[in-house]
Structure 1
């Protein structure tokens, strides 16, 4: 029996409301700031209500000034290519790795899995120097391959797919074998459809991971043609004499927030279902 405690319910709602305000306030400030002129931020306070320069600010960021084309759309495309490349690469490699570890018998199979799992202790920031050396020696600097290839391996996704595949009954594997399904057909016709929700959940997580990358693109790109949108926000803050155009910075920040939000909203049901199924 659940006791009815109005004070506890009210306190819980208060905590939730405060949490929403803390999270939403920076987003609100960014939205409002994108509607004001640049000089509105040099008077010692931050405006908290909309201005009348929204169209002009968004037009300058997306289209550019007269005689000077905007680079934001190209940076957005670069970020999208990088995020999708990392996402699909991680999912593909992790699926194949987990499939081999679970359903194939070969020497040192367990050792191979634990070696992959131990790489969780080595994030990109730790192995950044040798990774950069390899990419530079392969002449992959300033390229989409250099942006995505070093980041497509994922021990976390491999572990999650391994746990998912281990929950598949052995009878199903035997039935597929009796019906004449080979390894490739079993993988595409049975495993992939059964892993759909897990793939969707990982897609959301990995897309946001790839989209928000800053350090690696900053290191491997020196050509403006390969700069990402997250990098552009940082570059707009690095201006001489501290004359920062905060209205344009906030517009670029909102543009950088839109794709991850759309992915989360569009795949919300599959994302939640994939996380719930992963717990079983």
Structure 2
């Protein structure tokens, strides 16, 4: 039993208040900058009191950055990444935990080793693969002579039909990011904690693997899925490098790219107030997700540690 001491409680609250102040200070300065005019932002020393132009700057940033379209793109890409990662990770974790097939552990360790290969490391081959998604099939058909055979017999050019370019598409933004070694590892570790008696009881009741997965494992994994969904939502929403490299059309950009475009560059008007105002509605969806699902996030972390 932990005893309560007044001095210790005061010290803990002071430390928490100092930590909260350090974390919130950049947000406060961003709010101050977003509420000032261009001339006021450049004042030395920097004003510490907010101005009265925050709403005006926010509306200007929204219209100037065309965030109506960018917000939709970000939501579609983020939800696609979350659903894709959860689906692939759940199925992969279920397979390596409950199925006994050759090289099962080899497959698991290959998945685990891929943790050391983030998107930034494999960005060039990933771009080439998505920009020419039909390339492997063309190489296979050429190796077995199927391409020439079809062209000679029917006149149909198989090479032309397999020119699949996924640049500036939702599929190209989502599919390369749905594989998650960390999520697969977390679900596998959770499945290992499920009592074997549940699996045996399901077999006695005549339940197949899919029914056991759907009726037993998924309900038990709700807290873990909710906690992981929050992390994956933050990961998907904050993606910057892949959308920056993969989108060449403004209509397919994400909110992060729109925020980057508002940052002043050399020989341009230093409109930092517009960029700072935009940063608040760009960070709003992740903040709302964390606030609304805070209980599930905590529950998922606590249940995972048992």
Q: What is aligned with 2:156?
A: none
What aligned pairs does 1:21-170 form with structure 2 within 5 A after superposition?
Answer: 21-64=21-64, 71-138=66-133, 139-170=165-196
Larger radius of gyration: 2
Offset at 1:100? 0.7
For the residues of structure 1 that align with 2:9 and 2:91, how far apart are their CA atoms?
47
Offset at 1:240? 3.9
For the residues of structure 2 that align with 1:47 and 1:156, how far apart are their CA atoms?
44
TM-score (norm 1): 0.93
**Number of residues of Structure 1 aligned to a counterpart in Structure 2:** 275
For the residues of structure 2 that align with 1:265 and 1:4, how far apart are their CA atoms?
29
Gaps of 5+ in 2: 134-164
RMSD: 1.7
Against the structure 1 CA distance between its residues 5 and 172, is the aligned structure 2 distance closer, same or farther, given a 3 Å change threshold? closer
Q: What is aligned with 1:67?
A: none
For the residues of structure 2 that align with 1:119 and 1:12, how far apart are their CA atoms?
40
For the residues of structure 2 that align with 1:73 and 1:226, how far apart are their CA atoms?
12
For the residues of structure 2 that align with 1:237 and 1:181, how far apart are their CA atoms?
57
Kindly indicate whether residue 220 of structure 2 is the aligned counterpart of residue 194 of structure 1.
yes
Q: What is aligned with 1:206?
A: 232
Q: Secondary structure at the match of 1:180?
A: coil
For the residues of structure 1 that align with 2:219 and 2:172, how far apart are their CA atoms?
31
Q: What is aligned with 1:171?
A: 197
For the residues of structure 2 that align with 1:63 and 1:82, how far apart are their CA atoms?
21
Q: Alpha-carbon deviations, 1:40-67, whole Å to 9, x = none?
A: 1122233222222123222222345xxx
For the residues of structure 2 that align with 1:5 and 1:87, how far apart are their CA atoms?
44
Q: What is aligned with 1:276?
A: 302
Kindly indicate whether residue 242 of structure 2 is the aligned counterpart of residue 216 of structure 1.
yes
Which portions of structure 1, spanning 4 or more consecutive aligned residues, are displaced by more than 6 angstroms? none
Q: Alpha-carbon deviations, 1:149-188, whole Å to 9, x = none?
A: 1111001100110011111111111111111211111111
Offset at 1:3? 6.2
TM-score (norm 2): 0.85
Q: What is aligned with 2:145?
A: none
Against the structure 1 CA distance between its residues 46 and 75, is the aligned structure 2 distance closer, same or farther, given a 3 Å change threshold? farther
Offset at 1:72? 1.3
For the residues of structure 1 that align with 2:4 and 2:211, how far apart are their CA atoms?
55
For the residues of structure 2 that align with 1:15 and 1:151, how far apart are their CA atoms?
38
Gaps of 5+ in 1: 65-69
Q: Secondary structure at the match of 1:49?
A: coil
